[in-house]
Structure 1
Amino acid sequence: MDDSSMEANDRIRAAANFLLQSPPGEINDVLNDIRNIISDDDLLQEGIQPALREYNIEQFTVVDVPDTNHQSIISEAAREGDSLESEERFLDPRSKISFLFDHLSLEASDPVPFEPDETHEPYRSALEAASLSYLKAHFTDGVTSVFSPKDGSSRYVIQIVANKYNPTNFWAGRWRSEYIVDLTSNRVSGKMLINIHYYEQGNVQLATSHTVSFDIPPAVVSASPNTAASKILALIEGEEGKYQISLSDTYQEMGEKTFKGLRRALPLTRQKLDWDKVMGYKLGAELSGSKPAFPNS
């Protein structure tokens, strides 16, 4: 491999790392900036495909499901187990459709019906209905998908993602949560992940995660699928509510204590600096109120 090829590969690897760190809703902006650096669309597209796939799956990218009026989540849980990465298919349990997904254009194609597992479908469907009700009550723009157990397990997967993009005011955010409902151990384990980007006259990103785990009460385990699903989502609602309150308390404390401890709110003069007149200030005179150090200045 010659030096130019090695340099091109290094640039592609760097580009892939940049893509994986893209803030919510801004991956196209990052990709366009990278195009200007690489200046080779064919090489770029080939080299970043694995990074795009990883990003879409990790970030719970949503896609319009063909022949429906709703969206579904692209994730590892949604991936059809026997599909090859080159012709990767994903499942939308809500419509019972399998489809191909293009990680670059973010479009679904070639919808094909599939038959769900009759053993698991009643409980999965009940969890889905309860998740949709929860989503409607607590998320302005959110998508949820609920998946049946795979590989002979008894673990149902509930996934939720909500995106909010506000480029006019220079911020964007994403909420992701995933819960494993295990009917063998009668336990729910999950995680919540939040990414926020604020970039008005600066560049600040927040990435935080929180894990939870709790038992499913015996009365819930023995209840009908619809009743059990509603109770499980009520427990999830409680956990997410507590985490949201803890985040609000943390931000308030950071604003009142942490940030104030990092720097002075005002300079020693206790007055804000007039930056429009900064070139006219005489150091030691106007800033400190003392006589000029140089009388003829």
Structure 2
Amino acid sequence: MSRTAALASFVESTPPGELTDVTKAIKSILGDESIQNELTPAFEKYNEEQFATVKLPGNSEEVIVSSYNSLGGSRYYDVESQSAFDFDHSTQKASKVQSYVLDSNHADLVKNLVKSLSTHTSEHYPKSSLGVYPTEDDTQIAIITVASKYSPSNFWNGRWRSSYIYNPFSGSITGSIKVDVHYYEDGNVRLLTNKDISVSVGSGATASEIIRQIATAEKKYQEDLNKAFGSLSEGAFKALRRQLPVTRQKVEWEKISGYRLGQDIGGGRSR
């Protein structure tokens, strides 16, 4: 494996909200500040796959960067703000914002989907960004939601990503939900999940019907995750630990959701 490929693998596996830290670590290890240019392609791939978000100059809302709304040459567009912008994948900053008019046979449906999706995300994802874009051949529509929450002072970061492709002719909705959470206080625990979604609303469905199906699928997956976490404390997680932790006190498993992994269970430092 070449050096560039090896470094790119570090970038691609970076947990949410930690790209700057990983980049600094790579520079420090190699003692080479110029490595940033070498990593630009990896940054672009990472940002598009992770649905990176950025605030446009003069705009309070964050917009999404993805392969679905790429105009080429590190330029992207946003339907809701009717803007196109340049995005620097190294610094994750936007510039050269201009007005942009969507040219699509599904323009009306796209705009209605943005409104319905905005209502859904505001109810279920307090801090999130969304995007609805026609596919490159204008035969289908991509529907994207990303919700990130960073708490580096408490040693954890997390991101929810959901992306779907809606076919207006068949009425099919296919896509996936991805959850990535990293906890790194006195240890290194990471949750990575990927749930494939496939539902149908029939051809000619309204925007509200499409988003209703998506909301139902996401609610069910969140419920499944909650059940899995509940069984984890009584099953796999309990089996991984010694009967008594280093604190020499028994773990109250029924209260496991309230523990801080590094400090309370592992006997880490107090703050």
Place the TM-score, normalised by the shorter chain, in its bin: 0.7 to 0.9
The CA deviation at 1:89 is 1.0
State the alpha-carbon separation in 2 of the partners of residues 165 and 186 from structure 1. 36
The CA deviation at 1:194 is 0.5
1:47 corresponds to which residue?
38
1:216 corresponds to which residue?
201
1:125-171 deviation per Cα after TM superposition (whole angstroms, max 9, x unaligned): 00000011011000121000111243141x11110000001112111
State the alpha-carbon separation in 2 of the partners of residues 151 and 109 from structure 1. 27
SS at match of 1:150: coil
SS at match of 1:140: coil
2:166 corresponds to which residue?
181
1:69-127 deviation per Cα after TM superposition (whole angstroms, max 9, x unaligned): 322111000101xx3xxx32111111221111100111111122222226321110000
> Does 2:47 align with 1:69?
no
2:116 corresponds to which residue?
130
Q: Is the 8 A contact 1:24 1:196 kept in 2?
A: yes
> Does 2:100 align with 1:114?
yes
> Does 2:12 align with 1:20?
yes
Q: Is the 8 A contact 1:120 1:149 kept in 2?
A: no
1:238 corresponds to which residue?
216
State the alpha-carbon separation in 1 of the partners of residues 67 and 56 from structure 2. 17
2:75 corresponds to which residue?
89
Identical columns (%): 34
The CA deviation at 1:252 is 1.1
Letter in 1 for 2:55: D
> Does 2:144 align with 1:144?
no
The CA deviation at 1:19 is 1.4
Q: Which runs of 5+ in 2 are unaligned?
A: 251-271
SS at match of 1:41: coil
> Does 2:88 align with 1:102?
yes
> Does 2:182 align with 1:204?
no
Q: Is the 8 A contact 1:174 1:195 kept in 2?
A: yes
SS at match of 1:214: strand
State the alpha-carbon separation in 1 of the partners of residues 130 and 180 from structure 2. 18
Q: Is the 8 A contact 2:104 2:134 kept in 1?
A: no
Query: 4+ residue stretches of structure 1 with deviation over 6 A?
Result: none
Q: Is the 8 A contact 1:65 1:92 kept in 2?
A: no
- Shift in alpha-carbon separation, 1:116–1:252, aligned structure 2, 3 A: same
Whose Rg is larger?
1
> Does 2:41 align with 1:56?
no
> Does 2:143 align with 1:158?
yes
State the alpha-carbon separation in 1 of the partners of residues 238 and 61 from structure 2. 46
TM-score, structure 2 as length reference: 0.86
State the alpha-carbon separation in 1 of the partners of residues 57 and 173 from structure 2. 32
Q: Which runs of 5+ in 1 are unaligned?
A: 1-8, 223-227, 274-297
State the alpha-carbon separation in 1 of the partners of residues 3 and 219 from structure 2. 43
> Does 2:30 align with 1:38?
yes
State the alpha-carbon separation in 1 of the partners of residues 104 and 41 from structure 2. 34
Alignment of 1:2-13 (within 5 A): 10-13=2-5
Letter in 1 for 2:29: I
- Shift in alpha-carbon separation, 1:272–1:119, aligned structure 2, 3 A: closer
1:24-76 deviation per Cα after TM superposition (whole angstroms, max 9, x unaligned): 1011111111111111212x022111111111011000011234332211100
- Shift in alpha-carbon separation, 1:22–1:149, aligned structure 2, 3 A: closer
Q: Is the 8 A contact 1:187 1:214 kept in 2?
A: yes
Please tell me the root mean square deviation across aligned C-alpha atoms, in Å: 1.9
- Shift in alpha-carbon separation, 1:38–1:185, aligned structure 2, 3 A: same
State the alpha-carbon separation in 2 of the partners of residues 166 and 67 from structure 1. 26
Q: Is the 8 A contact 1:172 1:198 kept in 2?
A: yes
The CA deviation at 1:262 is 3.1
